[in-house]
Every structure is written in C-alpha cells, then in structure tokens.
Amino acid sequence: MELLFLGTGAGVPAKERNVSSVALQLLDERGATWLFDCGEATQHQILHTAIRPRRIEHILITHLHGDHLFGLPGLLGSRSFQSGETPLTVFGPRGLRAFVETALAVSGTKLRYELNIAEIEEGVIFDDETFQVIAKRLDHGMPSYGFRVVEKDLPGPLLVDRLRALGVRPGPIYQQIKQGKTVVLEDGIVLDGREFVGPPQKGRIVTVLGDTRFCEAAIELAHDADVVVHEATFAAAEQQLAHDYFHSTTIDAAEVARRARAKRLILTHISSRYQGAAAQQLVAEARRVFPNTELAADFASFSIPRG
C-alpha cells in the first residue's frame, strides 16, 4: 500500500505543483489503483509514474471545483486507448454525473469499458471483502467530502514451523488448517486448525480529505488512521484568509491529526505563494503541533506499512 502524489497544488497549476490528485496504490492488496481527485493534466502526471490507467479501479472525487475535477474526462477517454477494459467506478458529490456525461457526449467520447458513476451522500459508499470506504461531508464553500479507507483485518499467518515440527508436509492440508478447520492426519492425529494460525493482522486506515476548514467531521474520519492526507493551503499567519476561503492552515491540519490520534500526517494542496524555503516553513509549523508531519510534493510516494 502506497500513496503517490500526482498533484499537490491549490487552485491553478504551478511550475512546481500541479493541481490535486493522489493515487492509492493497492497492487498487492487487490491489483488496482484508486485515484483521489483528478485535476487538470492528471493523465500527463501519470505518464511520469508506473501507474497504469487500465489498473485504476475507483476514482473518488472530493468536490466539484475545477482544480479537483477538470482532468477527469480526458483520463476516462484515454483509459479506453490504453487497454482499459475492466469496470471503473467514479464516486463524488451530486452533479458529478451531469459533468461526466455531458463532457463525454459533447466530445463524442466512446468508452470500451463499463463506467459507473456513484453520486454519494454521507456514510459507507463502498464495501467488499477487503476494503470499506466511509464518506463524510466537510466544511467548504461547496459540498466537499473526506474519505476514510479501511482495510479489513487479514487472517493470521499460518504457523508453518509448528506444523513441520509435527511432520505435517506442505500441501492442500495447509489451506484447510489456515481456514481454522479440524483435520485428521494419516496416522489419526487430529489437529485443530485454530491452534496453528497466528493472531489476525490489523488492517490499515487511510484518510484522504477534500478542501475544508477545520471541522469535527475531519477528526472523525481521521480517528486512529495510519495516515491522514489533509490540505494546508495557507500558513498559520493566514488563519483569517483560510477561513474566508473555506480552507485550512498548517495548524488546522496538524490539530486534526493530533485530536484524531492519527499516526502520520501528509500536507498537500499548497498555495503557489509558498515556494522553496517558504514551503518548508509550512511543515515546520505543523510539526510544532503534530511532529510526525510530512509535506507532499508532486511524484512523492509514501509507503504505508502494517503495524
């Protein structure tokens, strides 16, 4: 599991930062990539990475401001020309369907794969045997959502050394034991599979928040998360400006992570006014409140280990 940032700027593209998009790489977990937001030129940014558009399974749009959305029609169209044949679901606020369908219809774009558009409300928006995604509305100038991605706990590892010590050789019986079944060996010995499986491996939690002021919903989504991706459009000194424009400062983001007892915070959606040393000052401000803070840059990647 890895976060790969494709765009980390706010509002408009800049030389150092493209507009918003971040990929959650789930290649080992489900052979897929999930994309959060799709600002202008996201598909150009993808060309500089190992991401394969045909592997993109879900695209989750936090809100419908252009810097989070205008790259979507182009990416959907290009996926058809890059061997993309598997279904793709785009999640986002009400109005997303009209935007996508209009863009594709007016441009005459035909897709070779099944496109599903899910206009969301608060609550569980996705749930299968491996992951659950919860959405909550944040505090922004238009409907903006944050997403809590919860990996479900994995079965504990098979205690192979203990089985070998009993003379149990690898084979189909190992799968039965890992499933916790009771098995009978050739010599009549009965094994309770539950005694040969370690404790479950706790799933990871990744929280990706859309544009927002400081709010309780963000804290709830980030509770005990392994990593929180939070906008930090403005420095701490610009608190009033951030509030007026429905955005967050570095301190707002850090306070969310602190109150949520998150393990790690990554700042993104940085205003173009902060370049070089000024951008580094942003992360320094946040670390005074939440020490385990990092500043995202375009093409930066962050591994999310277990435990």
Q: Known binding site for Zn(2+): residues?
A: 63, 65, 67-68, 140, 211, 269
Alpha-carbon torsion 280, 284, 286, 290, what sign? positive
Q: What are phi and psi of 116, to 5 degrees?
A: -110, 135
Closest CA to 214 of 237, 187, 193, 242: 242
Q: How far apart are CA 13 and CA 175, in angstroms?
A: 51
Cα–Cα distance list, 89 to 20, 49, 76, 296 (Å): 19, 22, 11, 26
Active site (annotated) includes residue 67? yes
Check 67, 226, 252, 298 and give the catalytic one.
67
**Pair of tokens at residue 273:** 């006014």
d(CA 113, CA 86) in angstroms, rounded, equals 6
Question: Which positions are catalytic?
Answer: 67
